[in-house]
Amino acid sequence: MISEVGLVLEGPGSLSQGFILGASSVSLAELVMMTRLSLKMRLLLSYFLAKAVWQFYDSEWMQREWTKNTVHFMFERRPKMPKGIFINEPFLSACFDGRNQSFNPDTEFRSHVLPKILALGIMLLEIELRIKIEDYRMPEDVDYNGEPNVNADHIAAMEVFNNPDLWAGKDTFGALRDVIEACLTPVKFQPFKNDIPGLRDAFEKFIVNPLHDRYKSAWEDPDVSIPRAVKLDQTGSPAMEVVSENTPPVSPSPVHSLLHAPVATPSHQIPYHPYPSYLGGQGYPQFPYQPMQYPVSPSVTPLSDGIMSSSSNFTSDGWFGELDKLNSVLRPKPKEKDNAYKPIKIAILDTGVNEAYADNVKDYKDFVNEDEEDWDDSTTHGTGAFLLVQQIYNMAEIYVGKVFEKAHATDDTVALMTKAIQHAQNSWNVDIIIMPSGFSSDDIDLENAIDQARQAGILIFAAASNYGNMSYIAFPGRLYIDLKLFCMFSTNASNRALAAFNPSVLGKARYSFAILGEDVKIPRQEKPVSGTSYAAIIGGAVAARILDFAQHKDNRGRIRRIEKLKTVEGMSAVFDTMVGSAVDNGYRCMAPWKILPSYIRGEEMGPKRLRERAHICETISRALEEMHKR
């Protein structure tokens, strides 16, 4: 049993009289699906499970990761309370003879280096969303016998976590969502993989303490909180559908289960918020979700509905502020335009756009439903792309092609994307195509369409992937190794590319550009968003701004080899001037304003702008002249 000093053996003896031994225990898997736990009950259960993992992480009680099938609950009677299951008294079905330690040849290929922490994250996700993770496994991650591969549940969990449809209408605490994310993406714990004391300290800081503090601030200390009984009959059938929490606390039962033990007094900790993700297992075409995001290092404040929100000074505002300084130089004044000047045409091939922005869209085509009158965007991802492009390059002629109906691709999506690229080239005559999505499998028709667009002088921007090294770079993004397009990796506002967020660069690729894609604030959208899809959008818009600058009346004659700007090699050479020494694990991290000359103190604005424009022209010229030397 558990005592104040830890796990101790008391010797043979009878179990507490409160437990009903004639009734079968109920697994967590059964409990989650048979009941609808309240917000308070879900948070309390999550806290006790997390605390138990923290306590017994390296003990014989946790030789293998705990799952919803190994955590059980017993029926119990407590004084002045109805019999039932108490979520603060979970038990473990454990084996100590070593048979559960059989060698798995796939272990070395795990996408998550700390499977016990991953398993906790999956349990918390299943509790919060009331789902079965196995229902979300990708077909290619299950063999012909129905057995999942070693990473099937990790991939499924990432898909679930980043699916906004599954979170819609949920009253989830931000702190709990952050904890789940930290469990699924182990970047905070990787440094302690071989340091168990350090790992437990990090786990307490980023998992246990945030749950403890959130529950305590909303109600009371969770370690003295006694929930209502979950009333089921003793065959496991639910006696009530919704389990709420209205009963006042009573004195704790003297019985302590395996997982019931005191937790160290938590200090205030800043939770870590790494990244969202998209693109599941190989062979399954998918679209990058637009998950709810929380800024880095947030200060948490309650909203009117009692759910948590986050705010932070570490946002993309400063990044866009620096970009605005560059745009003030790149943007033409009326006298710098003539009849030869034309705005750059950009095609966004995504989920459509909200009809409210129809007046600002040059043309719209629905490749999914072939309904040109019904403008919509059920995910808001395409609308976000449109707003980002407008923010960076407000003079663009924007064309929108709807190729995704919802978050996931269908069997037809690759063919629709191929058709959309051809339409963007032949009917819209665009200069840039932004496709902020990707697929796991190659497609020859899509690649041929990309080749034809490239030969026509169209620059194409695609997303990489958000699973880190859990999956490969998406298609068609991986074609960047042959300089067929731009595959954009993502940085944070500090111009760092997180290796755990981005897939590894291709070693033989000449350029692996990364640009802002994490915690991006989009105009008129409430939540910051993250993903390499947003990096692709921003990268495409920056390229459009450079193309626009090059055709100004005063610049056309000053930029040498200007025709090369509409090639991947040429624009890459210009992008590289925006990198400087900011190379992070192979990612060439772009800060576009680095193309500006050094500041001269006391310089007047008029001459300063002229000097800056001349410097940019010369920088572009030299980059284009030397592009094959890079």
- Determine the pLDDT at residue 94: 57
155's enclosing H/E stretch is helix 152-161
Q: How much is the average pLDDT of 8-19?
A: 47
- Determine the pLDDT at residue 303: 25
Q: How much is the average pLDDT of 212-232?
A: 84
| pLDDT exceeds 80 at position 77 | no
Residues 205 and 230: beta-carbon distance below 8 Å: no
Query: CA-CA distance, 630 to 624, in Å (whole number)?
Result: 10
The more confident residue out of 363 and 227 is 363
Least trusted range by pLDDT, from 100-109, 192-201, 506-515, 544-553: 100-109
| pLDDT exceeds 90 at position 244 | no
- Determine the pLDDT at residue 411: 87
Residues 565 and 624: beta-carbon distance below 8 Å: yes
| pLDDT exceeds 50 at position 544 | yes
The more confident residue out of 218 and 97 is 218
| pLDDT exceeds 90 at position 533 | yes
| pLDDT exceeds 50 at position 9 | no
| pLDDT exceeds 50 at position 288 | no
Query: CA-CA distance, 461 to 388, in Å (whole number)?
Result: 14
The more confident residue out of 226 and 402 is 402
Q: Which amino acid is located at 517 in the chain?
A: G
- Determine the pLDDT at residue 83: 66
- What is the band of 81 on the pLDDT scale with cuts at 50, 70, 90? low
| Percent of the chain clearing pLDDT 70 (strictly above) | 77
- What is the band of 373 on the pLDDT scale with cuts at 50, 70, 90? confident
Could you read off the pLDDT of 171-202 as tens digits, one per residue? Answer: 888 889 999 999 998 788 878 888 888 899 99
- What is the band of 93 on the pLDDT scale with cuts at 50, 70, 90? low
The more confident residue out of 231 and 134 is 134
| Percent of the chain clearing pLDDT 90 (strictly above) | 46
- Determine the pLDDT at residue 283: 30
- What is the band of 450 on the pLDDT scale with cuts at 50, 70, 90? very high
Q: Which long-range contacts (CB under 8 A, 24 or more apart) does 307-314 make?
A: 307/171, 307/172, 307/173, 307/174, 308/173, 308/174, 308/175, 308/214, 309/174, 310/174, 310/273, 314/493, 314/519
Q: Which amino acid is located at 537 in the chain?
A: I
- Determine the pLDDT at residue 594: 95
| pLDDT exceeds 90 at position 101 | no
Q: Which of 143-152, 412-421, 493-502 has the highest mean pLDDT?
A: 412-421
Task: Please name every residue paired with 92 in a beta bridge, in sequence order, or none if there are none.
Answer: 71
- What is the band of 279 on the pLDDT scale with cuts at 50, 70, 90? very low
- What is the band of 466 on the pLDDT scale with cuts at 50, 70, 90? low
Could you read off the pLDDT of 512-531 as tens digits, one per residue? Answer: 999 999 999 998 888 889 98
In the predicted model, what is the mean pLDDT of the chain?
Answer: 79
Least trusted range by pLDDT, from 120-134, 166-180, 575-589: 166-180
Taking the model in full, what pTM does it have? 0.55
Q: Write down all domains in the chain, each with its CATH number in brackets.
A: 18-97+108-237+266-272 (1.10.510), 317-597 (3.40.50.200)
535: number of Cβ within 10 Å: 30
Question: How far is CA 492 from its chain centroid?
Answer: 13
